[in-house]
């Protein structure tokens, strides 16, 4: 088989995107499941497809909104794909999109929605370490030694990167400043109207070295979804596909 026959490059397109309002952690007035449904419906509307055209869901990081429940609530005709990329937090979003794309190329589903929803007031803080009577698996290599939160675990990897590769600490400040700068241009950003200065960054408290307060994510509540279809199917959509 030719190598180019086994790639998904150029064969799947993002036809639509949908989002809910974003809230600070724990402040969403709506249930997590309702947020998920709202984002999915918005994505379908943006893509110009009916919700009954959707036949698959993919998510990541142990999203609690099960596709079978979503399918029943939204009135799908058929659920052909239910996929989850477990673990690795926000980094799992890329894998969820890849899994959905691979399913479309393989003919397992025709219209897959990749989504994520979070309402921390309902289920507790996502990034907070929780007490447990016992641990197993990967956690057995971290929890007994005090590595409980994502910041603590990745701090070791980041410290090694800075030291081995010679990356200056100023790079981390630049990333945080850029994020807050873009938030000022986005009317939907939680931190719009609250710009960050280099002085404020340098004066912020340590979370765990080398991470200061503004290096860590805000753990916002809300939901987002994208609609994926085969590239040839997306060409006749009103919005330009990606």
Cβ neighbour number for residue 96 with a 10 Å cutoff: 23
pLDDT at 142: 86
Q: What average pLDDT does the segment 123-143 reach?
A: 79
pLDDT beyond 60 at 128: yes
Calpha distance 183→153 (Å, rounded): 27
What rounded mean pLDDT belongs to the chain?
91
Tell me if residue 113 falls in helix, strand or coil: strand
H/E stretch holding 209 reads none
pLDDT at 185: 95
Instruction: Tell me which range, 3-7, 82-86, 223-227, is most confidently predicted by mean pLDDT.
Output: 223-227
Q: What average pLDDT does the segment 192-210 reach?
A: 96
Assign residue 133 a region (left: φ > 0; alpha: ψ between -120 and 50; beta: otherwise).
Answer: alpha
Calpha distance 154→158 (Å, rounded): 6
pLDDT at 3: 55
Q: Could you give the percent of the chain with pLDDT greater than 70?
A: 95
Q: What average pLDDT does the segment 109-132 reach?
A: 85
- The pTM for the full model equals 0.85
The pLDDT tens digits for 3-12 are 567 889 999 9
Calpha distance 120→213 (Å, rounded): 19
Nearest to 121 by CA among 210, 34, 231: 34
Q: What average pLDDT does the segment 38-53 reach?
A: 96
- Token pair for 105: 């190329």
Calpha distance 238→242 (Å, rounded): 12
pLDDT beyond 80 at 204: yes
Q: Hey, where are the domains in the chain?
A: 9-124+220-234, 140-215
Tell me if residue 224 falls in helix, strand or coil: strand
Cβ-contact 35, 20 below 8 angstroms: yes
Calpha distance 81→229 (Å, rounded): 13
pLDDT beyond 80 at 107: yes
Class of 9-124+220-234 in CATH:
alpha beta
In the chain, how many H helices and how many E strands? Answer: 8, 7
H/E stretch holding 13 reads strand 12-19
- Token pair for 158: 């980041």
């Amino acid at each position: 088989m030719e190598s180019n026959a086994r790639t998904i490059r150029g064969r799947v397109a993002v036809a639509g995107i949908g989002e809910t309002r974003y809230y600070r952690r724990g402040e969403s007035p709506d249930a997590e499941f309702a947020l998920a449904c709202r984002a999915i419906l918005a994505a379908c509307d943006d893509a110009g497809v009916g919700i009954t055209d959707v036949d698959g869901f993919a998510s990541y990081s142990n999203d609690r909104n099960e596709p079978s429940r979503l399918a029943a609530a939204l009135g799908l005709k058929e659920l052909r794909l239910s996929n989850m990329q477990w673990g690795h937090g926000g980094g799992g979003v890329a894998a969820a999109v890849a899994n959905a794309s691979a399913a479309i190329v393989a003919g397992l589903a025709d219209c897959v929605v990749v989504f994520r929803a979070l309402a921390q007031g309902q289920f507790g803080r996502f990034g907070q370490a929780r007490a447990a009577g016992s641990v197993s698996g990967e956690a057995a290599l971290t929890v007994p030694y005090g590595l409980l939160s994502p910041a603590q675990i990745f701090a070791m990897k980041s410290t090694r990167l800075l030291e081995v590769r010679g990356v200056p600490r100023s790079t981390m400040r630049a990333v945080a400043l850029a994020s807050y700068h873009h938030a000022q241009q986005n009317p939907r950003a939680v931190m719009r109207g609250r710009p960050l200065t280099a002085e404020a960054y340098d004066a912020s408290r340590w979370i765990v070295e080398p991470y200061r307060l503004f290096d860590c994510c805000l753990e916002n509540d809300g939901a987002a979804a994208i609609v994926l279809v085969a590239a040839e199917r997306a060409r006749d959509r009103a919005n330009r596909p990606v």
